[in-house]
Amino acid sequence: SSAVGSSNVMAHFGYRFDASNEQLQRQLDAANICFLHAPAFHPAMRHAAPVRRELGVRTFLNMLGPLVNPARPAAQLLGVYSLELLRLYQYLLQESGTRYVVVHALDGYDELSLTGEAKIATSEGGETLLSAADLGLPVCKPEDLAGGQTVEQSARLFRQVLDGQGTTPQVNAVAANAALGIRCLNPAVSLADALALAYVSIRSGGARRAFTTLLATQA
């Protein structure tokens, strides 16, 4: 329902969505990342895509998509746009045995926006509130996190962060969300240490190198 999605940005950089399972595994081995394009694994979604673009509003697929990850990951970070959906995901994921972190910013973002408090639900149990101050970070303004209205603008913002040229609010927001993912994968790591690891990945160029390696597999 947004103007630009992650698959649009990936396609802009030349990433192809027709890779076989073996090719995806090679990408994962080489870069520690691969992209699973939902219509390639769930063909019925392909027919819904034009309708979703035409409607321009949320549909049930916004809710369903994250729950049908074909990789069936052992750990999963999910962002949702409402508190009700956070609790629905929490209920469903509890039944799956997956380690999970579900995040909803109380001002409406489906991520840890740092613009205010966020509700966090985890497989460790219960719900907590998390704010920028809890992470030792300044509060972001919504305008600091404005995304691109075109694929080109979004791709440029994405690349700037990877290249170490993002603004402080952009980098802080990316690192904070990455920290939630790191801690979801390894609950023994504190959130503060996970945040430090995320900053190292961005500032050292590690995240950029992983993305470059991923794109190189398309050659």
Contacts of 100 (CB under 8 A, 6+ apart): 75, 76, 77, 78, 89, 90, 93, 121, 122, 123, 184
Q: Over the stretch 137-146, which tens digit does the pLDDT of each residue have?
A: 999 999 999 9
**Mean pLDDT, rounded, of the chain:** 90
Assign residue 88 the CATH number of its domain: 3.40.1030.10
Give me the pLDDT at residue 130, please. 98
Give me the pLDDT at residue 212, please. 98
Q: Could you count the other beta carbons within 10 Å of the beta carbon of residue 32?
A: 11
Q: Which of 116, 144, 141, 110 has the alpha carbon at shortest distance from 130?
A: 116
Residue given tokens 């966020």 in the structure block: 118
Q: Over the stretch 190-200, which tens digit does the pLDDT of each residue have?
A: 999 999 999 99
What is the tally of structural domains in the chain?
Answer: 1
Whether 63 is covered by a domain: the verdict is yes
- Show the domain range for 82: 6-216
Coil, strand or helix: which one is 219?
Answer: coil
Whether 1 is covered by a domain: the verdict is no
Least confident of 9-18, 39-48, 113-122, 135-144: 39-48
